[in-house]
Amino acid sequence: MDTRRVVISLPLAGLPALPSAPVSGRHLWENSPPPTQNSPPVQGLLFHLQNVLFDDTAWRRWLLRLLHHMGLHSPYDAFFRLWETECLEDSSQDAFDYWQALRGFLSSAGMTRGQIDEVEAAGRLRRERLNQQTRPFPAVSGTLARLHEAGVRMVALDTGCGELRDPLQPLRDGNLERWFQAVVAPARRSDRAANYHRALAALDVPLDRVALVGQDPGELDWAAAGGLRTIAFNAPRHARADVHLSHFPELVQHCGATRLRRRAG
């Protein structure tokens, strides 16, 4: 069973207690005004791991090619949008088994048990290989080092659906763990508010000085609704964010910016 979905804190002596979260709807925090042009400089960054610090689409592209070869045809975006919904529902349980969830998903898509067995057998080998081959995007390491030198606190949050068996492996291989106050893997992906509270507790920076660096339009919108400033990287053009990065090193200059206006790309 895949048991990676636990909270992982890298060295965090004296981690502040998780704030209470009496939240409802799309708001993460009570009394969270939106960022304004006079917002204070960013002093803390909350990073999504997937497609921000490293590319995790290699597995998805390989899987979809295999499924196409076996007769299951679906556009990339539509297929994985449905998969993420399934993943979110399955991860509401205390334990998340990637292969069990994927098997159920493929069965609901009409594949036979024999076909699913074939996908899993080939996929286990491929997934392990990709886990060893995934590396951070170019310029990520140098940019994180510059941010650390500037005194910016950083926490990474795993928001993936288990495509990488060990989502921390690329950070270890790139020696990136040292720049983060913590790397947080959610105990339950479906409990999004609690997951963000854990990450923010580890960050220990006032909310109005925190920005989320993300790629997924829905996550960017949801975080903004809770009071976080948002910085988009590798995001679709329609994604709304205070800042869209063309290149990762641009992040350094925006951490000193006080004027962030929420806009589409």
Domain end call among 112, 133, 154: 133
Same domain, yes or no: 51 and 61: no
Same domain, yes or no: 198 and 72: no
Mean per-residue pLDDT of the chain:
78
Per mean pLDDT, which range of 23-27, 59-63, 101-105, 254-258 is the poorest? 23-27
Please give the tally of structural domains in the chain: 2
The enclosing domain of 153 has a CATH number of 3.40.50.1000
CA angle, 52 then 54 then 60, to 5°: 100
Same domain, yes or no: 226 and 188: yes
pLDDT computed for residue 58 by the predictor:
86
pLDDT computed for residue 8 by the predictor:
37
Determine whether 115 is exposed, middle or buried from the number of CB atoms within 10 Å of its CB (0-12, 13-18, 19+). middle
Same domain, yes or no: 68 and 124: yes
- The residue written with tokens 């923010």 in the block is 200
Q: Could you list the residue range(s) of the whole structural domain that residue 97 is in?
A: 57-133
pLDDT per residue as tens digits for the range 169-227: 788 888 898 999 998 876 565 677 788 888 999 999 999 899 999 998 888 998 898 88
Same domain, yes or no: 143 and 244: yes
Does any domain span residue 215? yes
Does any domain span residue 89? yes
| Radius of gyration of the chain measured on its C-alpha atoms | 19
Residue 23 has pLDDT above 90, yes or no: no
- The residue written with tokens 């791991």 in the block is 49
CA angle, 153 then 154 then 159, to 5°: 155
Residue 5 has pLDDT above 50, yes or no: no
Same domain, yes or no: 49 and 145: yes
pLDDT computed for residue 249 by the predictor:
95
Same domain, yes or no: 101 and 167: no
Same domain, yes or no: 126 and 170: no
Same domain, yes or no: 109 and 146: no
pLDDT band at 165 (very low <50, low <70, confident <90, very high): low
- The residue written with tokens 């990073």 in the block is 47
Same domain, yes or no: 192 and 91: no
Does any domain span residue 34? no
pLDDT band at 99 (very low <50, low <70, confident <90, very high): confident
Same domain, yes or no: 148 and 235: yes
pLDDT per residue as tens digits for the range 118-156: 999 999 989 888 877 888 898 999 999 999 999 999 999
Same domain, yes or no: 144 and 243: yes
